[in-house]
Homo-oligomer: A and B are copies of this chain.
C-alpha cells in the first residue's frame, strides 16, 4: 500500500478497519498510533506540532522502508499514514499497521517501521508551546531503538 503523507486529520479506527477489510490470510494485525502529547518532556503544555516533509525524499524513503520490512518479514500488508502541517495536541501524527500470518512478524514490522519513521524518515518537527517554538530532533533512545534492526535479523538495514 502506498504511504499517505497528508495535512488531513488521521482517524486510526477507520484506518484500522479499512486495513483489515483488505486482508485475506493474516492471523495478526499490529497497529501503532502516535499522538501529540498535551505536555512536553519539560512539563510545558504543547499547543501543536508543526511537521514538515520534503516533496520527494520523504515518500521515497518511506517506500524503501516498507520494501525493507517486506523483505525481512512475511507480511501480507503494511500501511503508513503520516500527517504534516500543524497538528494539535491530542491529534494523531502517525498511523502504522502491519499484517502477517504470524503475530511476531506483525509486531516486529510495525516496531521497525516506527523506529524508521522516528529516526530516518525525512520529516522536520517543530514543537509550539506558550514559551515559543523549538525544532525537535530524535532522542538518543530513538536512535538506539533503530540500531536494534541493524545488529540483528535476516538482513541488514540500509541507510
Binding site for B on A (CB under 8 A): 11-18, 20, 23-39, 92, 101, 103-104, 106-107, 110-111, 114, 118, 141, 144-145, 158
B-chain residues with CB within 8 Å of residue A114 when the two chains form the complex = 103, 107
- Asked whether B145 lies within 8 Å of A32 as measured between CB atoms, the reply is no
Report the bound CA distance from A27 to B144 in whole Å.
18
Option from B14, B25, B145 in Cβ contact (under 8 Å) with A38:
B25
- Asked whether B34 lies within 8 Å of A103 as measured between CB atoms, the reply is yes
- Asked whether A32 lies within 8 Å of B30 as measured between CB atoms, the reply is yes
- Asked whether B17 lies within 8 Å of A12 as measured between CB atoms, the reply is yes
Other contacts beyond A20-B92, A30-B30: 15, CB < 8 A? A12-B20, A13-B16, A13-B18, A13-B20, A26-B37, A27-B34, A28-B32, A29-B32, A29-B33, A31-B31, A31-B33, A32-B103, A37-B101, A103-B118, A107-B114
